[in-house]
Each structure stands twice: as structure tokens, then as C-alpha cells.
Chains A and B, each alone.
Chain A
Amino acid sequence: MRKRKGEVMSRMWNYSRPTVPWRLLAATLTILLTAACSQQPASESSGSSAAASVKVVPAGQDTSGFLQDYSKLEPHPTIEGAETYENPDPLNDLNDYIAMIVDPVEVYVASDGDPASISDEGLEAVTGYFQYAITSAVADAFPIVDEPNPLALRLRSALVGVDTGEGAAAGETSEETGEALTRSINVSEVIVEFELVDSESGEVIAAAVDTAKLGSGAEVGTTHFSRMERFEEAKLAFDEWASRLREFLDAEHEIEGAPEEERTRESYQPYGPS
């Protein structure tokens, strides 16, 4: 005998009444909230320490080894302190890419430095903020995607020459939180390296080493008030490095040379009344 629809529904409801619908609803809302929250501050949290690692610049070498090739870098004509490279092959032209994947920021300490002395909090603050800064600087020109594609670049970046800053005396604690203070991270001598590679083939499309010392006096990685001011200075330095990366990308996209200008102008034939 066929049961009426209402009867079946009523039984289902009675059977599962205690928790299931609420759990389902709560789980759905949690997923939605998580998704909503994860989209808010771009990728402020995406470069967390879980993904970041600390490496050491090899002893006796001038470079960190982060870039695949340093030999083709040349001083940039307009960005002082930056050495850059752009792949000259028309098949690997920077202008052919329209989107970007931003990798977690890597950190290199000087060859005589101790990676273990860098606190997790400091590392998370440094890499997280820098990734947020570079994502914010490029996203309107290169929409951020998460899957490799022939039209998407992968942006790799590294902070090279990170040092440990002022040490806290044994037992010293934060006035605000009471937590033990760790050694801060000093970014005074940091240089920044970027590499843009094809997200599918890994071919280098462009690279840059920014030697501008923008982080003078800036430290990161403690809750102590006096050091908070230095963290603000570090944020300004990160913003400036990110802005110089954008400047480099803008310069590479300028239309240059009379023939190219002419052809571009000629090709621009708007539809509509003529």
C-alpha cells in the first residue's frame, strides 16, 4: 500500500528530529561562512607560516639561489635599485598572460644566520603580510586564479637576507598579553626577489631582484608596543616593494615604438555609429 507523502515526511522528521537537520544546516552555514571569510582580505592569510619555510643563503655565494638564473638580469631603466629580466622569446611574452597564481612567500636568512631563531609568529606576520601586499598590488591587472592555465603566470617571491632582531631578555613578557617575548625579525637588509613563470610549463617569463633597502629600522614579530611601530615601518616597506613590482609590470605593458603604436591605433575600430 502506498504511503501518503505527508506520512512519509512525518516519519522521516520524527526519526531524525533530534539533530540531523540542524547539523546539516549548521554545517552548510559553516561552509558558507568559511568561504565568505576566506574571500574577504584577499590572501592576507594565505601565506601563513604553515606554507612558508626558512632557507639559508648558501655560504660564499652572492645570490640566494631562489631565481633559476641571475646572469640575465639587467638594471631597470626607470626603477632605481631593481635588476630585471624579461624573456625575449615572442612565444613567452609577458603580454600574453592575463591572470596570476601567487605562491607563498619564501624567506632566506644570511649564510651565517640561524633559521631556528626566527619565531613562527614573526615568520607568519612577514610572509602573510607580504603576500597580501603583492596580491593587492597586482590583482586588478592580473586577476588571481588558483589553477594553472596557459594564460596564467605563477608569481614566486622571496625575502632574502632576513635577520633576527633585538633579543628579549630571558623571562621578559609582553605588557599587554603577558606572553613571553621572542626575538623579532629584522628586515633592514632585506632584498626582494620575484620570478614570474608560466604556470603550466614553468618557463621563466620575467624576473626581478629589488635591492632597494626599504626596510630600514623595521622589525616584525612581537607584541611589544615599541616594536609595533617598527612593524608599521615593515608594512610600509612591504607595500613599497609590492608597488615597485606593479611598476615593473606596468612598464612592461606600455605600448612602445611608432610601428606598434600605429598598428594598435589602426586596429582600434569601435563598433557603433560611424
Chain B
Amino acid sequence: MIRVLGLCVGLLLGSGLGLAEKAVDATFYGYVDSDVCARVMLGPVTDSRIKCSTDTAKKGSPPVVVRGADNAVFSVKNKKTVKKMVGDFAKISGATKVKSGSIKISSAESVELSAIPADAAEVNLMDVRNYRTSGDRVYEQVRHTLAMMPYISYFDFISFALVGDEVILTGWTVRITNRQEAYRRVKQIEGVSHVTNNIDVLPMGSMDMQIRAQAGARLGRMLSQYFWGNGSDIKIIVKNGDIILLGTVTRQGDSDIANIQCNTVPGAFHVFNLLRVVPPQKKG
């Protein structure tokens, strides 16, 4: 009997371990962010990003660690270790799993930006001057490539940053193919040397599916001008009961309507309204 059970346990653990990624111990400088902002506010740590991090963390978005050297986002297994450090730079040590984007922290301490060695790769990524933005040829090509992906729905949001000739992809998607396809397409663009893929594949549990359906139906009805054929100006991200609203609307009133409608969706825990209000003449 015990042997049989031992075999069962062995099989169970073996099958799990066979698929599991091996953890690698690492120490690095990074930024302690909220999960929501880490996947939206890519790039240098500015005042607006710190505000986004602390505001969304207060509303319940779990803390994550963003590795300074490459902007890789790690979800934290022992969240208490960094919960009070959201919005700070930190020196982090722990067991990392790069592929699955997770870390088990063994130690974490807040540091000042000035404490990070000037020649470290982390400094490069934190300096806003190193980012290429709108108007740059490669930037526009990446933007166009991601915009034209066929399976992007209003339940997906994919963003990116371009630092030198390196692209950092981020965001959320309900489809694995979008994560793979974004990486494949961007990697092929001339002038891109390296791609970091932080796109998070969302869980498809029945509760999240119900929330998606309800939120989508409400916003589609109340704010139909922002939804069309293959695209939308508003993105509705649902992750473990939380709703994250992204994209642009033309009036503050529309942003408020979206917020109110999503707040009344049964089963939704929090609504993070990150919609930007862009008057029509300034859009594009």
C-alpha cells in the first residue's frame, strides 16, 4: 500500500517537476511596482509612474518586481516582503523563474537611485533620454505591426517600449497566440536586436469569463462609439476578478460612465480605470 502511494506521489511530483522551470538565484536592482502599472507604464520611473504604482497598489493590485536591467516583470510569491516598497527602487535577491516571470524573494531593501552604480545596465533603462518614441522609424514600425495583429480583441492590451534597438513587449492577452505572434513579428523588424516579452496570458476561468462578457456588453451598449469591427478604443482587461480599463476616450464623462458600469459588474473585485481622456483634435 505504502509503495503504491509512494509511486503515486512520485508520479505526481515527477510530472509536475518535469514541466516546471528551474529557479535561478539572482540579485539585481529593480523597481517595485504594482502588477497593473508594471504592464502598462513601461520605461523610466517618472513621477506619474510612481503615482500609478502607489494608487493601484492601494486599490489592491498585487506588488511585482521590475528588473532594472531588462524591464522583465516578476510576480512575487511572498508579496509581504515588498508590499510596503511599491514605488521604490530596491535591491532584490531571490529565486527567479524568467520564463514564467516569478520570483521568491529572500531579501529586499529600498535603495536610492543614486546608490545604483552609474555604469550599471539598470541606469540605462531608467533614463528617459534612452527611450525612442513616437516619430522614430522603428518605433512607428513596431506600433504598426502590433496594431495590425489579427487576433487582438478588446479584451487584450499589448504595449511596448523601445530602448536603443531593444523592444520590451508588455500587456495582457486572452490568447497565447498573441504573445507568441507579437514576439515573432517584432523580432523580424529591421533595426530590432532584442525583444523582452512581458506579455501576460490571462486566466480563462469561468468567473473571469462572466465578468468579461458583462463588462463588454455594458460598455458596448453605453459607449458604442468606441467599439467597431475588429478594434476598439477601450480595452477591458479582466484578471482574477479585477477589471483594468485602458485606452482612450474623448470626454471625461465617458471615462466616468465606463468606471461606473464596470463597478456594477457582479463578481468584479476592483476596477482600475486607466482610461486616458484625449479630445478628438489632439488624438493621433
Contact = CB atoms under 8 A, between A and B. Distances in A.
B161 A272 contact: yes
Interface in B196-232: 204, 206, 209-210, 212-213, 216-217, 228-232
Contacts of B212: 98, 151
Given A29-B12, A33-B11, A270 B143 contact: yes
B5 A147 contact: no
A141 interface: yes
Interface string A64-98: 00000000000000000000000000100101101
Interface centre among A32, A142, A265, A272 (most CB of B within 10 A): A272
A143 B150 contact: no
Nearest to B135: A274
B144 interface: yes
Contacts of B128: 273
Interface string B185-202: 000000000000000000
Nearest to B40: A271
Interface stretch (B97-105, B108-116, B151-159, B260-268): B151-159
A149 B209 contact: yes
A149 B5 contact: no
Interface residues of B, number: 56
A266 B44 CA distance: 24
Nearest to B170: A272
Contacts of B151: 141, 253
Interface residues of A, number: 43
A22 B9 CA distance: 13
A147 B174 CA distance: 16
A32 B12 contact: yes
Contact of A271 (B159, B206, B229): B159
Contacts of A271: 40-42, 159, 246, 274
A255 B148 contact: yes
B247 A267 contact: yes
B5 A26 contact: yes
Contact of A272 (B42, B176, B230): B42
B213 A150 contact: yes
A90 B220 CA distance: 12
A266 to B, nearest CB: 5
B146 interface: yes
A140 B246 contact: no
Interface string A96-116: 101100000000000000000
Interface in A220-274: 250, 253-255, 260-261, 263-274
A232 to B, nearest CB: 27
Interface string B261-284: 000000000000010101000011
Contacts of B15: 36
A205 to B, nearest CB: 15
Most A CB atoms within 10 A — which of B4, B174, B274? Answer: B174
A96 B276 CA distance: 24
Contacts of A268: 143, 146-147
8 contacts: A29-B8, A33-B12, A143-B175, A149-B210, A264-B148, A266-B284, A267-B233, A274-B133
- Among all A-B residue pairs, the 6 with the closest Cβ atoms: A268-B147, A272-B42, A253-B150, A270-B159, A273-B43, A140-B177
